Amino acid sequence: MLNVFAIKEKHTVYECIREVGAGIEHDINIFGLDAPQGTNYNLNEIHNMPTFLGSARAPYTKPFFLYLEEIVTFEESGPFSLQVLAHSHPNFLGCISHIKDTCTQLFTKYGINCYHLPLSSHDKDRDRISRRIKSLADPRKPVTLVSWGSWNDVDDANWANRGIVQVDDIAYNLLRDGSNIKLIAKTKRQLRCEAFSGDSGRVCIQREYLHDQTELDDLFYEGDLFLLPSRQVHSASLTNAFSFGMPCVTSNGWGMSEYCFDNFNSLVGYRNSNFAERIKDLCDNRERLIKMSENTLAWYNSNHSRENHKANLHRLVDLAMSRHAK
């Protein structure tokens, strides 16, 4: 039986692992440690806690993994380092990450086994996505831009949190110049582009948290381009957008190169001086946008499908347990 314990219990990553991990015969734990410096504990405290997060009984009596995204988070977590934990505990199986660079750094710098597990998203209606992509051939249909920002993205300098300020600039300039686009965004901020809200619903701002997956999916099924001009990868957001066949408009920040390929499934390099022109050109060139959307959906289905995620997780658990038994 596989048990997953995480600070963000409802996070997409861990919900997916619980689902695809059903049927694993080994009795193991996976601990998802999100940004420990922001949650009032460090690795030393975790290591000594008799009950992890108040929910896992005797967590270290079973073989266990640590699941992480950014290695820097744990290098800043206090005097009791990940290296000490990894090399001193008899039940530690290794780390799991959906970022290849994290896996490489953990092994190279600390000699820690780290298993790469590409992300997945929940199943989508493929026919509905295909119909939306084909509808782009109609020049009367607006190209719908989607930006699903963080709730704490309220500071002008907070570019690392998905870049809603840059999204506002993109949408405002495109709408001002008469481009046939629509924006769907989640943010608490007031945006300049809301000046166009009355223009046949060209700007739709979501300011309430959507708990219902169907409601959230209905918004994403409308999307043609996903805007994520962030300094670093937000892997679950990207994977989810790709599963809807939405190419991504993004920066070339940390981790992006593992998911985003310029002119194939993404426009990469937001901060380049001509990037606004590239976005406008893509919105105006429906044939090219349709091709990128088809590339995106095919790439997701080949590399990040739910079936692949399940097979990869079962394979890595079997490999780690075989190493542990030696």
We report the CATH number of the domain holding residue 200 as 3.40.50.2000
Q: Do 86 and 195 share a structural domain?
A: no
Q: Do 147 and 86 share a structural domain?
A: no
Using CA atoms, how far apart are residues 8 and 31, in angstroms rounded to an integer?
11
Along the 326 residues of the chain, how does pLDDT read in single tens digits?
A: 898 877 666 778 888 999 999 889 899 988 887 654 444 444 444 544 444 433 444 456 789 898 888 776 666 554 445 666 677 778 889 999 999 988 998 889 888 889 999 999 989 999 999 999 999 999 999 999 999 866 556 555 544 456 788 888 889 999 999 999 999 998 888 899 999 988 778 999 988 777 788 888 999 999 999 998 877 777 888 999 999 999 999 888 778 888 999 999 999 987 667 778 889 999 999 999 999 999 999 999 999 999 999 999 999 999 999 998 87
Q: Do 46 and 136 share a structural domain?
A: no
Do residues 191 and 211 touch, judged by C-beta distance below 8 A?
no
Q: Do 200 and 134 share a structural domain?
A: yes
Using CA atoms, how far apart are residues 139 and 216, in angstroms rounded to an integer?
26
pTM for the model stands at: 0.86
Q: Do 291 and 148 share a structural domain?
A: yes
Which candidate, 310, 147, 153, places its Cα nearest to that of 241?
Answer: 147
For 69-96, give the DSSP string.
Answer: S-HHHHHTS-SS-HHHHHHH-TTEEEEE
Q: In this predicted structure, what is the pLDDT of residue 160?
A: 43
Identify the domain containing residue 225 by its residue range: 126-303
In this structure, what token pair is assigned to residue 6? Answer: 């995480």
Using CA atoms, how far apart are residues 246 and 238, in angstroms rounded to an integer?
9
Q: In this predicted structure, what is the pLDDT of residue 151?
A: 56
Torsion of CA 289, 291, 295, 301, to 10 degrees: 90
Total tally of structural domains belonging to the chain: 2
| CA 151, chain centre distance (Å) | 15
| CA 112, chain centre distance (Å) | 24
Q: Do 224 and 105 share a structural domain?
A: no
Pairing of strands 266-268, 28-32: unpaired
Using CA atoms, how far apart are residues 162 and 152, in angstroms rounded to an integer?
10
Do residues 136 and 286 touch, judged by C-beta distance below 8 A?
yes
Q: Do 172 and 47 share a structural domain?
A: no
CB count within 10 Å of CB 189 equals 18
Q: Do 285 and 271 share a structural domain?
A: yes
In this structure, what token pair is assigned to residue 32? Answer: 């998802």
Q: Do 189 and 262 share a structural domain?
A: yes
Q: Do 315 and 299 share a structural domain?
A: no
Using CA atoms, how far apart are residues 161 and 169, in angstroms rounded to an integer?
16
Q: Do 165 and 237 share a structural domain?
A: yes
The CA-based diameter of the chain, rounded to the nearest angstrom, is 67
Q: Do 284 and 243 share a structural domain?
A: yes
Token pair 């694993």: residue: 24
